[in-house]
Chain A
Amino acid sequence: MQTVRQSNEQTLMRELGLSSQNIERRKRFVAFGPEDVARVVALKPVVVEHVDELVQTFFQHLASLDEAKALTSNHEVADRARTMKREHLLAMTSGTYDATYVEQRLKLGVLYARAGLDTRVVMGAFQAIIRGVGDRVMRDGTRDAFERFSSFEKLAYFDIVILLDVLVYERERTIRQQSEAIRELSTPVLQVRDRMLLLPLIGVIDTHRAQLVTDGLLRAIRANRARVVVMDVTGVATIDSKVANHLLQTVSAARLMGAYVIVTGLSSDVAQSLVALGIEVSRFNTVGDLQGGIEEAEKLLGYELVQHVSDRKARVT
């Protein structure tokens, strides 16, 4: 279990492009240099002394917000978050800010993302904790307290940017998965008979989708050894000239692979607009409706459909 989770974070590091080079670059963004490291490490006693109060501040802030309920109401998750936050605060004054440090921050980010925490909420709570540290440091009244605190703040910004990257990435993951699913759903290629494919097109076809249709169809022709394809556009309300040309290209490409394409279900509106647009409609082999198209395809493949009258009576009753 532990090893699996470990590799998960490492994959995430890769996907976010968090190489050691990138980490150094990120430190440059917030101008976090060696002298800052020294100043932050000097804060260690203060942070260690007040670590529990600081963690408390963070979660008190979250508890006051409805948007964070998912995290605060689940005890198991809340406890893990609390432990990790504590580790985080202690690690911040440890003096080493390398890949392992970043990996720990990612872990916390993933936890927040899974709990459905919003970026706004995390930012607010993070601010509360920075303020808490600032309070203690200033109250201590040591020499160059302000410099030390602003170094600490730089590091905090470095951390929160990583946190935000994870939150945004996790949110986009859902979008990525959904659009992938929609894409697959929208271009099914079905085998109806041996060596006959049906390509039902439904909805709005844009250039991007037309390209996917072409791709999927040609691959299916090869995989199913198709000789006839029935492309049904009954469910397509409008076809513009760009898409019509793309469909023509699909027909030509299929022909180059030895497959004959029959187009069915062109509505009167679509047919009229294709003619009005001056598309070379003669290059489409069209049949009025899907039934006619399948019958035509069967004929081309040498199928003969026979209806046994006596049988049919027996089966229907």
Chain B
Amino acid sequence: MVPVLKYGDTLVATIVAALSDEDLEQLRAEVIDKVGRFRARGVIIDVTALDVLDSFATRTIRGIASTAQLRGADTVVVGIQPDVAVAMVQLGLTLDDIETALDMEDGMALLEARRRSRRVG
């Protein structure tokens, strides 16, 4: 189970332990549902605690990002560990179309910057 918390107009999902494929599916459904319900403009997925990100998890995260995008929210993945990053790159799992940030703080700042640049004029 992954708690999806609302913080202003941002949703925060902190993954604290390795997730099964069903858990990931459930996370996807919950995030997408809440984006609409809370009218969120940003989603942060925190993977600091994970020591591995496999292809299914990567694909799910990418799926969440593009679906959220269609519903008007930007997604940032934060807290990828050095070893995880190396492993992902070696497996060819990149998140080229998704924003990444070092930690929660940077992720929040990134979303804030995004929001400001969208403003007209």
Which A residues are within 8 Å of any B CB, using their own CB?
214-215, 218-219, 221-222, 225-227, 249, 252-259
Question: Please, which residue of chain B has its CB at the minimum distance from the CB of A252?
Answer: B89
- Contacts A256-B100, A258-B101 known; A218 to B86 CB distance under 8 Å? yes
Contact of B78 among A225, A227, A258 (CB under 8 A): A258
A221 touches B82 (CB 8 A): yes
B117 touches A (CB below 8 Å): no
The 7 closest A-B pairs by CB, nearest first: A218-B82, A258-B101, A253-B85, A256-B85, A258-B102, A249-B89, A252-B89
Which residues of chain A are near B107, meaning CB under 8 Å? 258
The CA of A249 and the CA of B88, in the complex, are separated in Å by 10
B86 touches A258 (CB 8 A): no
The CA of A277 and the CA of B90, in the complex, are separated in Å by 20
B102 touches A225 (CB 8 A): yes
Known A222-B81, A227-B106; 14 more pairs at CB < 8 Å = A215-B86, A219-B82, A222-B82, A249-B86, A253-B82, A253-B85, A253-B89, A256-B77, A256-B89, A256-B100, A257-B82, A257-B102, A258-B80, A258-B106
B95 touches A (CB below 8 Å): yes
The CA of A226 and the CA of B110, in the complex, are separated in Å by 14
B85 touches A254 (CB 8 A): yes
B94 touches A256 (CB 8 A): yes
Interface residues of B in 68-112 (CB under 8 A from A): 77-78, 80-82, 84-86, 88-90, 94-95, 100-103, 106-107, 110
A sample of 22 cross-chain residue pairs with beta-carbon separation below 8 angstroms, ordered by A number, consists of: A215-B82, A218-B82, A218-B85, A218-B86, A221-B82, A225-B102, A225-B103, A226-B102, A249-B89, A252-B85, A252-B89, A253-B86, A255-B100, A256-B80, A256-B89, A256-B100, A257-B85, A258-B80, A258-B101, A258-B102, A258-B107, A258-B110
A71 CB → nearest B CB, Å? 49
Which residues of chain B are near A227, meaning CB under 8 Å? 102, 106
The CA of A218 and the CA of B84, in the complex, are separated in Å by 10
Query: Counting chain A CB atoms within 10 Å of each CB, which of B78, B85, B86 scores highest?
Result: B85
The prevalent SS among residues of A at the interface is: helix
The CA of A226 and the CA of B89, in the complex, are separated in Å by 19
Which residues of chain B are near A221, meaning CB under 8 Å? 82, 102
How many B residues, CB 8 Å from partner?
A: 20
Which residues of chain A are near B103, meaning CB under 8 Å? 225, 258
Which residues of chain B are near A249, meaning CB under 8 Å? 86, 89-90
The CA of A256 and the CA of B45, in the complex, are separated in Å by 13
Question: Please, which residue of chain B has its CB at the minimum distance from the CB of A251?
Answer: B89
B102 touches A259 (CB 8 A): yes
- Contacts A215-B82, A218-B82, A219-B82 known; A256 to B102 CB distance under 8 Å? no
B65 CB → nearest A CB, Å? 14
Which residues of chain A are near B82, meaning CB under 8 Å? 215, 218-219, 221-222, 253, 257
The CA of A279 and the CA of B34, in the complex, are separated in Å by 42
Which residues of chain B are near A259, meaning CB under 8 Å? 102
The CA of A166 and the CA of B2, in the complex, are separated in Å by 56
Interface residues of B in 41-81 (CB under 8 A from A): 77-78, 80-81
Which residues of chain A are near B81, meaning CB under 8 Å? 222
Which residues of chain B are near A253, meaning CB under 8 Å? 82, 85-86, 88-89
Question: Please, which residue of chain A has its CB at the minimum distance from the CB of B94?
Answer: A252
B42 CB → nearest A CB, Å? 15
Question: Please, which residue of chain A has its CB at the minimum distance from the CB of B90?
Answer: A249
Which residues of chain B are near A214, meaning CB under 8 Å? 86
Question: Please, which residue of chain A has its CB at the minimum distance from the CB of B88?
Answer: A256
The CA of A175 and the CA of B33, in the complex, are separated in Å by 61
- Contacts A253-B86, A253-B89, A258-B78 known; A222 to B94 CB distance under 8 Å? no
Question: Please, which residue of chain B has its CB at the minimum distance from the CB of A214?
Answer: B86
B102 touches A222 (CB 8 A): yes
